[in-house]
Amino acid sequence: MPLYESTLIARHDMSTQQVEGLAETFSTIITDNGGSVTKTESWGLKTLAYRVKKNRKGHFVFFNIDAPPPALQEYERNLRLNEDILRYLTVRVDELDPEPSIMMQARASRDDRGHGRGPRDDRPQRDGEGTGKAKAAEATTDKAAPAEAATDDTAAPAKGDDS
């Protein structure tokens, strides 16, 4: 059977339990039509890049699906009919990844560290580097360097010198 990855976005004003119930409903549609859902991940409430049907946020749910095309057609038909679904995307893949998705890995690593700075947490913190005082000190040393070079007898004369 063909393999698919599907992600859907549900309205932000739904509770987490309602979203889980919705995911279970769609999983049941796949299994009733001869397919199987091998993995279901709830990515949580996330901010959207732009407004979708007047919503700024949405609950994201991800599925790994192993189903025949008629089962997928019924699944997508129900997604289109459901008013709680803002958007969905289903993509056919060559193989399903049994590991947690990148979104779940980022959440797990963020939870391990105890803070939520995002997926680029490997960057070092700027402990005072780049502050205004450091920039001012660099600017004064840069201005002094050309004056020292002008005193060297191989340097070109400065503008306004009548030598």
Write the secondary structure of the chain as one string of H (helix), E (strand) and C (coil).
CCEEEEEEEEECCCCHHHHHHHHHHHHHHHHHCCCEEEEEEEEEEEEEEEEECCEEEEEEEEEEEECCHHHHHHHHHHHHHCCCEEEEEEEEECCCCCCCCHHHHHHHHHHHHCCCCCCCCCCCCCCCCCCHHHHHHHHHHHHHHHHHHHHCCCCCCCCCCCC
Position 149 in a domain: no
Q: What confidence score (pLDDT) does residue 140 get?
A: 53
In DSSP terms, 45 is beta-bridged to: 59
Could you tell me the pTM of the whole model?
A: 0.66
Q: Number of folded domains in the chain?
A: 1
pLDDT bracket for residue 104 (50, 70, 90):
confident
Position 147 in a domain: no
Res 120 pLDDT > 60: no
The CATH code of the domain that includes 87 is 3.30.70.60
pLDDT bracket for residue 107 (50, 70, 90):
confident
Position 62 in a domain: yes
